[in-house]
């Protein structure tokens, strides 16, 4: 009687070992959850949506000594190249569905261009978007407007600051630009012109309300027509700041540090200070295209710079 029991116990142990081995051998997924988040601003729902990330050599791009940038990043448990978020923001006012920036689309390689799949995961379709407000016409903000030359958002009207449109959509400006800058013009034209040709582009000529609850505010410097967008409802406020900042770990402590992408570095730094001082004083939310996803938080003054306080996670109850 002992022999069958011995064989049974051996079989159980072997099966358990095989189960453990099979469990340990499960493949790693190596992909994130869908990149969207939600927050309410009064009665307006705002959904930050990730287009992905891109590695950037910030020690070469930021206008300070490279070794200082690297040291600051290391103190913040970061390294170069910096994995940089590219965020867009979907604003549902209840009557209009407004998108602020569109991500890079296919312009910048395989780690970007994820906006549409994340938009769908968030419960929306490209055809539902009514208006698209562009902070500026760099490719990582407009590239998602088109796919294979066709409009990604067929029912949307695209709007952007008139100085940006006049600059980036002008072939004469492209022709006289340095060779390494021509791509910026080409990307803007390829992304915006299909909407122009369809009668779906309208430049923003002055500050003010675009749809109820969402206003434009010119903050030039990063580009000639860089524009931020203000969302307000029931006394609450969110300012979507576009590219007023790129690397929080460096530029919050030292906001005078600019970046090579700025067309007018002095004006870009001044715009950042104006918006950040107001946000820190009044306590409203800001949302940044290149702040770590979801890119939402508050500012507090700290020394000669600012302290970044990311939003607390919420279940939207």
As assigned by CATH, the class of the 33-310 domain is alpha beta
| b/e per residue 5-17 (b: at least 16 CB within 10 A) | eeeeeeeeeeeee
* Token pair of 110 as six digits: 């395989």
Average pLDDT over residues 294-313: 97
Kindly provide the residue ranges of all beta strands, DSSP E only, lying in the chain, ordered along the sequence: 39-41, 44-56, 82-92, 97-100, 131-134, 146-147, 150-151, 157-161, 201-204, 208-211, 214-218, 227-233, 236-242, 285-288, 296-302, 305-310
In whole angstroms, how far apart are CA 208 and each of 181, 227, 230?
Answer: 32, 11, 9
- For 225-284, what is each residue's pLDDT tens digit? 999 999 999 999 999 999 999 999 999 999 999 999 999 999 999 999 999 999 999 999
* pLDDT at position 217: 98
Asked if the model's pLDDT at residue 198 lies above 70, the reply is yes
Burial class (CB in 10 A: 0-12, 13-18, 19+), 115: buried
Asked if the model's pLDDT at residue 16 lies above 90, the reply is no
Contacts (Cβ under 8 Å, ≥6 apart) of 77: none
Rounded CA-CA distance 250/117 in Å is 31
Asked if the model's pLDDT at residue 1 lies above 70, the reply is no
Average pLDDT over residues 195-214: 98
Rounded CA-CA distance 130/125 in Å is 11
Distance of CA 181 to the CA centre of its chain: 22
- For 162-189, what is each residue's pLDDT tens digit? 999 999 999 999 999 999 999 999 999 9
Domain ranges of the chain: 33-310
Average pLDDT over residues 284-306: 98
Is the pTM higher than 0.95? Answer: no
Across the chain, what does the average pLDDT equal?
A: 93
Is residue 314 very low, low, confident or very high in pLDDT (cuts 50, 70, 90)? confident
Could you tell me if 90 and 98 are in contact, meaning their C-beta atoms sit under 8 angstroms apart? yes
* pLDDT at position 2: 44
* Token pair of 89 as six digits: 């923001």
* pLDDT at position 33: 87
* Token pair of 316 as six digits: 């939207």
* pLDDT at position 30: 85
Bridge-partner residues for 285, per DSSP?
A: 238
Percent of the chain having pLDDT more than 90? 86
| b/e per residue 176-212 (b: at least 16 CB within 10 A) | eeeeeeeebbebbbbbbebbeeeebbbbbeeeeebee
Asked if the model's pLDDT at residue 99 lies above 60, the reply is yes
* Token pair of 164 as six digits: 């940006």
Average pLDDT over residues 50-60: 97
Peptide bond connecting 99 to the previous residue in cis, omega within 30 degrees of 0: no
Could you tell me if 112 and 140 are in contact, meaning their C-beta atoms sit under 8 angstroms apart? yes
- For 132-149, what is each residue's pLDDT tens digit? 999 999 999 999 999 999
């Amino acid at each position: 009687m002992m022999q069958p029991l011995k064989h049974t116990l051996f079989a159980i142990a072997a099966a358990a070992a095989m189960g453990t081995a099979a469990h340990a051998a499960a493949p790693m997924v190596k992909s994130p959850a869908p990149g969207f988040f939600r927050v309410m601003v009064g009665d307006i729902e705002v959904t930050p949506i990730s287009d992905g990330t891109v590695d950037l050599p910030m020690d070469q791009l930021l206008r300070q000594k490279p070794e200082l940038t690297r040291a600051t990043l290391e103190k913040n448990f970061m390294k170069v190249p910096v994995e940089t978020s590219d965020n867009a923001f979907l604003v549902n006012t209840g009557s209009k569905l407004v998108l602020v920036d569109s991500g890079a689309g296919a312009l910048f390689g395989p780690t970007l261009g994820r906006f549409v799949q994340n938009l769908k995961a968030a419960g929306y379709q490209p055809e539902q978007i009514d208006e698209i407000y562009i902070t500026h016409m760099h490719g990582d903000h407009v590239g998602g407007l088109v796919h294979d030359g066709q409009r990604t958002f067929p029912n949307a009207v695209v709007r952007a600051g008139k100085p940006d449109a006049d600059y980036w959509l002008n072939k004469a400006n492209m022709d006289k630009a340095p060779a390494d800058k021509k791509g910026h013009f080409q990307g803007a034209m390829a992304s915006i012109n299909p909407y122009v040709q369809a009668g779906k582009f309208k430049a923003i000529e002055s500050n003010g309300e675009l749809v109820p609850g969402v206003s434009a505010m010119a903050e030039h410097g990063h580009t000639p027509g860089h524009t931020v967008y203000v969302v307000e409802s029931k006394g609450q406020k969110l300012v979507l700041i576009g590219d007023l900042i790129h690397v929080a770990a460096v530029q919050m402590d030292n906001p005078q540090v600019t970046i090579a992408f700025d067309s007018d570095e002095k004006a870009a730094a001044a715009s950042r200070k104006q918006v950040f001082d107001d946000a820190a004083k009044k306590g409203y939310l800001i949302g940044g295209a290149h702040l770590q996803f979801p890119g939402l938080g508050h500012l507090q003054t700290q020394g000669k710079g600012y302290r970044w306080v990311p939003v607390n996670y919420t279940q939207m109850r």
